[in-house]
Amino acid sequence: MTGRAAWHRGAGLLPLAYLAALVVLAVAHPLLPQWRWLAVHLLLLGAATNAILIWGAHFTVAVLRAPAPPNRRAEILRLVLLNAGIALVLTGGFRGVAGAALVFAAIAAHLRWLVTRLRAALPSRFAVTVHYYAAAAVALLTGIPAGAWMLVTDDTFRPRLLLFHAHVNLLGWILLTVLGTLVTFWPTVVRTRMDPQAVAAARTALPTAITGLVALAAGVLAGWPPVAVAGLAVVAAAVVITLRPAVRAARARPPASFAAWSIAAGAGWLLTALAVDAHHLLTGYDDIASVLVPLLAGSVAQILLGALAHLLPMAMGGGPSLARERVAALNRHWPQRIAMTNGALLAVQLPVGSYARITTSLLLLAALLQFLAPALRLLLTDRRPPRVPA
């Protein structure tokens, strides 16, 4: 096994571990009064943020054509800081504030590394991807202090602070990373050529998204719903600008794998969630789950699983034949999994009773387990060396 393959085998366990913790939480949640808060942070701060740091570094080196780092010490340190911080954040209270400081330090170090790579790199057509990553890191560094403050205070300003924290972190850290990655990643997933307008669209969408995020953040902090919704509309426009070349690429080569359909479904749920969120901001109703379910389970989780399903088999080494075997293992029963997941998500949006919601939740849990089981098996047991021709 190559050094890169060994690294991704070990590092790839981090997001999967947090997804496995979500399964445990789903079973034990009646015993935990704050289980919703834990679920959100296990997915976003645990699984998604670890994946972003690991694969963001991978894509940065690739798109900038930078030399591979001589060692992984700095990257390991960032991941250690991040996960130590996450462990403390999940405990809440003042220990959570200390954890937020560690997470802040890890993301600040990640941002510094990105900026250093950009300054040292030769001109690259795809450097826009790394600009997305840097903007996403700035967004998270802006949202972390708000989250830390909410751990130790409960005043009348808290609802606005919660909206600020959620929107900056979700639509800044997660969404900007996703949009920047799709430029080069989506054509490889559907196995087709990149749309000629993809890079230009990404360059247009980045300042558009940042402008929308600033307006959205200011609107929720100041309590100005029309300004917040206007900012959200600008963010949605940036998403559409980025997705149009991706749709054209998919028309040229229709998706035919779990990874492709999971990412495509996640993009669809993202647009749905933004529309629901706009309605939520304008009307001020308190059913936050109506926004979180499509945004987290529908969009973030599906995009994350789709990305991991494509990346893990390719990064484990061993050549094309082994990669195809691993992809086949993660693709097993994929039409059923995609249909079950998105059917359950649609059912959750309907005014159904508690028993129907429990059933749909179990279907979502089963779909997650159908991904986790083969993914963990690959990382923990598939240690075959590369095949040497006779």
Task: Summarize pLDDT for 72-88 with one digit per residue, the tens.
Answer: 899 999 999 999 999 99
Query: What residue type is assigned to position 180 of the chain?
Result: G
Q: Which pLDDT score is estimated for 151?
A: 78
State the DSSP code for 174. I
Q: Quote the CA–CA distance of 278 and 283 in Å, as a whole number.
A: 9
DSSP-derived 3-state class of residue 123:
coil
Q: Quote the CA–CA distance of 201 and 126 in Å, as a whole number.
A: 12
Identify which of 53, 219, 78 has the alpha carbon closest to the alpha carbon of residue 136.
53
Q: Quote the CA–CA distance of 306 and 59 in Å, as a whole number.
A: 16
State the DSSP code for 168. I
- The two tokens of residue 6 are 């060994």
Return mean pLDDT, the chain.
90
Q: Is the pLDDT of residue 384 over 70?
A: no
Interval 15-32 mean pLDDT: 91
For residue 262, how many other CB atoms are within 10 A of its CB? 29
- The two tokens of residue 267 are 């993009």
CB-CB contact of 122 with 61 (8 Å): no
Q: Is the pLDDT of residue 389 over 50?
A: no
Q: Quote the CA–CA distance of 304 and 48 in Å, as a whole number.
A: 7
Tell me the pLDDT tens digit for each residue of 191-230: 999 999 999 999 999 999 999 999 999 999 998 999 999 9
- The two tokens of residue 150 are 């909410």
Tell me the pLDDT tens digit for each residue of 114-170: 999 999 888 888 999 999 999 999 999 999 999 888 877 777 788 888 889 999 999
How far out from the chain centre does Cα 333 lie? Answer: 23
- The two tokens of residue 96 are 């959570």
Query: What residue type is assigned to position 171 of the chain?
Result: L
pTM confidence score:
0.93
Interval 172-184 mean pLDDT: 95
Angle made by CA atoms 24, 29, 31, in degrees to the nearest 5: 115
Tell me the pLDDT tens digit for each residue of 295-306: 999 999 999 999
CB-CB contact of 109 with 68 (8 Å): no
CB-CB contact of 167 with 116 (8 Å): no
Q: Quote the CA–CA distance of 318 and 308 in Å, as a whole number.
A: 18
Query: What residue type is assigned to position 9 of the chain?
Result: R
